[in-house]
Amino acid sequence: MFCIQCEQSNKGGCSVKIGSCGKTDDVADLQDVLLRVMLGVSTFAHRAAQKGARDAEVDAFVPNAWFTTLTNVNFDEGRFLDLIADALEIRARAANLAEAAGADLSNLPQPAVWEPGVTREDLLASAPKAGIQKLLDRDGPTVNGLRALILYGLKGCAAYAEHARVLGSEADAVSAAFHEIAAFLATDPTDVDSLVGQSLKVGEVNLKVMELLDAGNTGRFGHPEVTHVRMTPKAGKCLLVSGHDLGDLARQSRRRQLVILKALPRAA
pLDDT digits (tens, 9 = 90+) for 129-141: 998 888 888 899 9
Asked if the 7-220 domain carries CATH number 1.10.10.10, the reply is no
Q: Which residue has the higher pLDDT, 266 or 230?
A: 230
Mean pLDDT in residue range 73-98: 96
pLDDT of 11 higher than 50: yes
What is the predicted pLDDT for the residue at 10?
65
**What pLDDT is attached to residue 34?**
97
Distance CA 140, CA 63 (A): 29
Least confident window among 5-19, 27-41, 209-223: 5-19
Asked if 253 and 239 touch (Cβ cutoff 8 Å), the reply is no
What pLDDT was estimated at residue 268?
Answer: 46
Q: What percentage of the chain reaches a pLDDT higher than 90? A: 67
Q: Domain segments of the chain: what residues? A: 7-220
pTM, two decimal places = 0.87
Q: In whole angstroms, what is the distance from residue 181 CA to residue 195 CA?
A: 10
Least confident window among 82-86, 239-243, 249-253, 259-263? 259-263
Of the pLDDT bands very low, low, confident and very high (cuts 50, 70, 90), residue 14 is confident
Backbone phi and psi for residue 14, each to the nearest 5 degrees, phi listed first? -105, 125
Question: Bigger pLDDT: 21 or 184?
Answer: 184
Widest pairwise Cα distance in the chain: 78
Say how far apart CA 172 and CA 216 lie, in whole Å: 15
Task: Answer whether 46's CB lies under 8 Å from 186's CB.
Answer: no
- pLDDT-derived band at 240 (thresholds 50, 70, 90) equals confident
Rounded mean pLDDT, 260-267: 52
Residues 151-170, mean pLDDT to the nearest whole number = 94
